[in-house]
Amino acid sequence: MTARTPIKHLAAQQDGPITVSGWVDTVRDQKKVQFVVLRDESGAVQLVNPAVRELDETDAASAGRLAITETISGLSQGSFITVTGELKHDERVKLGGIEVKIGTLEVITHAIAETPIAEDSSIDKRLDWRFLDLRRPEQNLIFRVQTTFLHALRTWWVEHDFIEIQTPKLMASASESRAELFEVEYFEGKAYLAQSPQFFKQMAQPAGFGKVFEVAPAFRADPSFTSRHATEFTSIDAEMSWVDSHEDVMRMHEELLVAGLTAVKQKHGAEIEALFGLEVTVPTTPFPRIPLAEAKRIVAERGYEVPRADDDMDPEGERRIAAYVKEEFGHEFVFLTDYASSIRPFYHMRHEGDPGLTNSYDLIFNGVEISTGAQREHRIDVLEAQAREKGLDPEELGFYLDFFRYGVPPHGGFGMGLQRVIMLLLHQPSIREVTYLFRGPNRLTP
Amino acid sequence: MTARTPIKHLAAQQDGPITVSGWVDTVRDQKKVQFVVLRDESGAVQLVNPAVRELDETDAASAGRLAITETISGLSQGSFITVTGELKHDERVKLGGIEVKIGTLEVITHAIAETPIAEDSSIDKRLDWRFLDLRRPEQNLIFRVQTTFLHALRTWWVEHDFIEIQTPKLMASASESRAELFEVEYFEGKAYLAQSPQFFKQMAQPAGFGKVFEVAPAFRADPSFTSRHATEFTSIDAEMSWVDSHEDVMRMHEELLVAGLTAVKQKHGAEIEALFGLEVTVPTTPFPRIPLAEAKRIVAERGYEVPRADDDMDPEGERRIAAYVKEEFGHEFVFLTDYASSIRPFYHMRHEGDPGLTNSYDLIFNGVEISTGAQREHRIDVLEAQAREKGLDPEELGFYLDFFRYGVPPHGGFGMGLQRVIMLLLHQPSIREVTYLFRGPNRLTP
């Protein structure tokens, strides 16, 4: 490995010789002195070089200094370089109170001088050049936050004896809706891309796995262009046996989010405040829970009639109920519970004594839905009846229904969109900003 | 949640009242006493019930006891039940020295009495009923081992400042070979499933991410039916900046495997020994390294001429060099290094001064290849020349080649098949045994 010091560690080092590597952020090429801001994955530092513009034959070092000066004058933004030099703490230096006086400078790769994107480029243009867009400190932080968040979730699951599963993304039939299914040429036949791991994570229950989780891609042939939709996204899923109702799922879900957000605040809280002007709030438990019917009454009382013919909420209603919860309880999260059976999939368990309602919830975070959870129907006769009632073909569902014929414990779980969580946590305007490489109806590159 | 005690915790509990839940493994219905072996995700325990075959009107409890006896007589294997009763330690009980005397018994779901698979069912038949096959303790252990292994890898990466990325699985063009590409109907056009995250994890290098990892599905339209191939598998990938050569990648790779296997041995060593008769060996570092040409000489000297026209090794050669390494160094792993450029992809860096060889390696574990790693070519002119030499279309590779035009650090990484590692670790005959739901040319279900 190149023997370099990550830039974030420089401040803690004593003055003296140092090697740093990274890319050129800016060059200020003044007559007497040159400044280079160098950036790596951990931060930025100012490099300084006293310019030598002419060969001085009385000074043996002059030729070398002249060469370095000329190299710096020709440095294009984005070029990767390695510099050895002298670290010096100096309070007058705005950028972190340190600078490095350049001793040697090696250009590793020259960048084309014209950068195709600028600060004010459109999101679409930035996505065309995503690998350059990702160099921005905000973008780098987004993915470090995501790393920390996911690792905290997985650690919580592992400590609570969950088993990690990798469910197949190639399926012989639909997992949810026929409408948004991608079709794959599969040798002589057809396959479909999994819209969610729903059926397969449920399979872990009759398999006796007890509690399972998965973080993996999911695919939706959804032609919409909103800030919340993508054709490929990262689905965070958990499913566990022996729940009494969706309440048990919500309790697991909120503990998990507390673990994730605690880790993010601890590790990145200061940086998030510096770069996004945001304070990360670790939510208190229990999160507020509001039955959907009540939520609709509340927003109606506050002047908003949800313009839908079915029993569902709409995005504006979700924003409004979230605003209400924020005002009333100072909470960024709210579980909307007990959705009508008419707008939920056949596999959601219905209320005992009121088949019009389900043991289900949506989780709203800062005004946007990030997750759906539920207790599942595990009684095969009820499940088959509910599938038939929804107009599904029990023949095609055969492999799934079989899971329930050989013994299965009561169970429930949730699916949550990773990119939505990160978008809402960091108050980003679109999942495009927090997806490594966004995929939409007309975006498949780079 | 059902207030149950996981079976593995019973042995440490004192005699007294207890609730357990799980599925019926076996029933021994004797005239005077009934035995049920109950299994959950953590273990198995014997339940015992003194049979009451007739109503005794002088005994108030008799009706209840008779009902329980009849329920047990009718219990089918696989049914899920919850039992409250009295835990009793008794050395004479073979199964863990404990038993539970049944107080109440509730059948949660009845299983169909005829189980479609048996101990001697073929692997194909077992895969048809994978959710039942997974109930075997060996299968359950495989996935707990996998969970521990992956978590240890990710923890190592997170502790070493790697960023987790989620690269897209939908691509506009091939990442590796056109031959094994799955085609997807994508709105009005076509997309392809990623065969590996290769191009996209490399993109993180010019993006300034420094070090990245990903664990995600990869897809190969490979028509082969060997024990090592699947059309969908879990690819473990890492890529890092500022490597001097593939040696730096190997060093990271071996440290990572030591972390993974140490965690597996600690958490599951005793169980692996009990169920698979195997001792997990934590490998010493450095792993042996043998240049491929030398490896071929060694197996030739030991009587095996690799029957290939190109410079590559074949599976039998890999087994033989692994046997040699085991004999000579007592090591289960070996890095074969310096593969010929002719058999490596265009993006592998070639030796300085010998363009016939690459800065690359394969990692062999217990005789089978589990991984390929390399330093990548980051110099755009060399990379373009190598692509052209391999007959690739620079036009189609345009988006990838762009990554190298705006500055990029030297970098390298590896891709490793999760299922192969687990198969070889637990001495399983096929990846079908260690894949949650195997996908092959003629298997898409369940």
Closest chain A residue to B187 measured between Cα atoms?
Answer: A441
Are the beta carbons of B111 and A406 separated by less than 8 Å?
yes
Same domain, A263 and A311: yes
Alpha-carbon span A355 to A346, nearest angstrom:
12
N-term to C-term CA, chain A: 29
Is residue A20 within 8 Å of A5, Cβ to Cβ?
yes
Alpha-carbon span B154 to B213, nearest angstrom:
8
| Residue B71 within any structural domain of the chain | yes
Same domain, B72 and B200: no
Where are the strands (E) in A94-168, listed by range? 98-109, 163-164
Are the beta carbons of B185 and A186 separated by less than 8 Å?
no
pLDDT in tens, B369-399: 999 999 999 999 999 999 999 998 878 899 9
Interface test with A, best of B166, B246, B423 (most A CBs within 10 A): B166
Are the beta carbons of B109 and A379 separated by less than 8 Å?
yes
Are the beta carbons of A158 and B147 separated by less than 8 Å?
yes
Peptide bond into A441 cis (omega under 30): no
Alpha-carbon span B112 to B169, nearest angstrom:
39
Share of chain A above pLDDT 90, in %: 92
pLDDT in tens, B216-252: 999 999 998 899 999 999 999 999 999 999 999 999 9
pLDDT in tens, A117-154: 998 999 999 999 999 999 999 999 999 999 999 999 99
Same domain, B288 and B174: yes
Measured between CB atoms, which of A78, A109, A217 is closest to B169? A217
| Residue B389 within any structural domain of the chain | yes
For residue A257, the SS3 value is helix
Structural element, H or E, at residue A326: helix A315-329
Are the beta carbons of B406 and A115 separated by less than 8 Å?
yes
Alpha-carbon span B121 to B258, nearest angstrom:
36
B441 contacts in A (CB within 8 Å)? 187
Closest chain B residue to A112 measured between Cα atoms?
Answer: B406
Report the CATH number that the domain containing residue B54 is assigned in CATH.
2.40.50.140
Which one, of A209, A241, A172, lies nearest residue A410 by Cα? A241
Are the beta carbons of B1 and A248 separated by less than 8 Å?
yes
| Residue B377 within any structural domain of the chain | yes
pLDDT at B175: 66
Instruction: For residue A185, give both structure tokens.
Output: 């040429």
pLDDT band at residue B308 using 50, 70 and 90 as cut-offs? confident
Closest chain A residue to B147 measured between Cα atoms?
Answer: A164
| Residue A244 within any structural domain of the chain | yes
pLDDT at A342: 95
B189 contacts in A (CB within 8 Å)? 444
Alpha-carbon span B175 to B200, nearest angstrom:
9
Enumerate residues 6+ apart whose C-beta is below 8 A from A60: none
pLDDT in tens, A427-437: 999 999 999 99
Of A57, A74, A109, the residue that ends a domain is: A109
Question: How close does chain A come to B302, measured CA to CA in Å?
Answer: 37
Instruction: For residue A137, give both structure tokens.
Output: 């400190």
Interface test with B, best of A8, A75, A131 (most B CBs within 10 A): A131
Are the beta carbons of B41 and A211 separated by less than 8 Å?
yes
Same domain, A86 and A231: no
Alpha-carbon span A25 to A38, nearest angstrom:
6
Which one, of A62, A165, A134, lies nearest residue B150 by Cα? A165
Per the prediction, chain A carries an average pLDDT of 96
Highest mean pLDDT among A165-179, B362-376, B388-402: B362-376
pLDDT at A308: 87
| Residue B121 within any structural domain of the chain | no
A171 contacts in B (CB within 8 Å)? 444
| Residue B440 within any structural domain of the chain | no
Question: Which residue type occupies A377?
Answer: E
Q: How far is CA A243 from CA A247, A250, A375, A377, in A?
A: 8, 11, 7, 11
Same domain, B416 and B284: yes
Question: How close does chain B come to A159, measured CA to CA in Å?
Answer: 10
Same domain, B15 and B86: yes
Per the prediction, chain B carries an average pLDDT of 96
Enumerate residues 6+ apart whose C-beta is below 8 A from B45: B7, B10, B20, B37, B38, B95, B96, B98, B99, B100
> What mean pLDDT comes out for the span B92-104?
96
Number of cross-chain residue pairs from A and B with Cβ atoms under 8 Å apart: 284
Same domain, B194 and B102: no
Measured between CB atoms, which of A187, A216, A407 is closest to B111? A407
DSSP state, residue B8: G
Residue carrying structure tokens 């429930």: A412
Q: Is the pLDDT of residue A168 over 90?
A: yes
pLDDT at B186: 97
- Please give the residue range of the domain that contains residue A74: 7-109
| Residue A362 within any structural domain of the chain | yes
Give the CB-side neighbour count of residue A149, counting CA atoms within 13 A.
23
A246 versus A311: the higher-pLDDT residue is A246
Is the ipTM value over 0.85, yes or no? yes
Q: Concatenated DSSP letters for B191-256?
A: EEE-S-SHHHHHHTTTTT--EEEEEEEEE-------TT--SEEEEEEEEEES-SSHHHHHHHHHHH
Question: How close does chain B come to A375, measured CA to CA in Å?
Answer: 11
Interface test with B, best of A436, A437, A442, A443 (most B CBs within 10 A): A436
Instruction: Report the number of distinct structural domains present in chain B.
Output: 2
Of B76, B109, B142, the residue that ends a domain is: B109
Question: How close does chain A come to B142, measured CA to CA in Å?
Answer: 10
Question: How close does chain A come to B65, measured CA to CA in Å?
Answer: 24
A409 contacts in B (CB within 8 Å)? 21, 23, 80, 108-109
b/e A267-287 (16+ beta carbons within 10 angstroms → b) = bbbebbeebbeeebebbeeeb
pLDDT at A190: 95
> What mean pLDDT comes out for the span A227-250?
97
pLDDT at B166: 98
Are the beta carbons of A108 and B410 separated by less than 8 Å?
yes
Same domain, A322 and A261: yes
A209 contacts in B (CB within 8 Å)? 41, 134, 140, 143
Same domain, A227 and A158: yes
Is residue B80 within 8 Å of B108, Cβ to Cβ?
yes
Q: Is the pLDDT of residue A362 over 90?
A: yes
Backbone angles phi, psi at A52, to 5 degrees: -115, 110
pLDDT at A176: 67
Are the beta carbons of A436 and B248 separated by less than 8 Å?
no
Are the beta carbons of A208 and B135 separated by less than 8 Å?
yes
Q: Is the pLDDT of residue B176 over 70?
A: no
| Residue A443 within any structural domain of the chain | no
Same domain, A177 and A104: no
A193 contacts in B (CB within 8 Å)? 184
Same domain, A86 and A144: no
pLDDT at A175: 66
Question: How close does chain A come to B48, measured CA to CA in Å?
Answer: 21
Report the CATH number that the domain containing residue B167 is assigned in CATH.
3.30.930.10
Is residue B372 a known part of a binding site?
Answer: yes
Same domain, A311 and A275: yes
